[in-house]
Structure 1
Amino acid sequence: MIDDPIVQETRKIREQISSEHKHDVYQLGRYFMEKQQTGQRVFVRIPPKAERTPHSGR
């Protein structure tokens, strides 16, 4: 397997965040929800596709 520096950095950050929250799934969930609420990124939700029926064409 090839060592990818981006993958290594991502894993290092993931482990750091996880250890800061004692590897507790609930603490990690709260952390990421709070980060999402206070962050600057805009999250886009794509609406589900309309269900196709036999008479709706392609």
Structure 2
Amino acid sequence: VLFVVVDVIVIDLVCVNGTAMLVKASSDLGRRLQTGYVRHYLYAFAVGMVILSGLFLLIANQ
């Protein structure tokens, strides 16, 4: 029972396969984000600046 719980579920499924799935998912996301079009990068920059400005305004008003 301990072998199944600890080795198979925790170590194999979560640690080994979970890490591999996380790396694959993040690389898939990165591949989709890197289109090569400058306008996409500018949109992402503008959205990031709006979010950061909003956060700064919220923090400053507290």
TM-score above 0.5: no
TM-score (norm 2): 0.37
TM-score (norm 1): 0.39
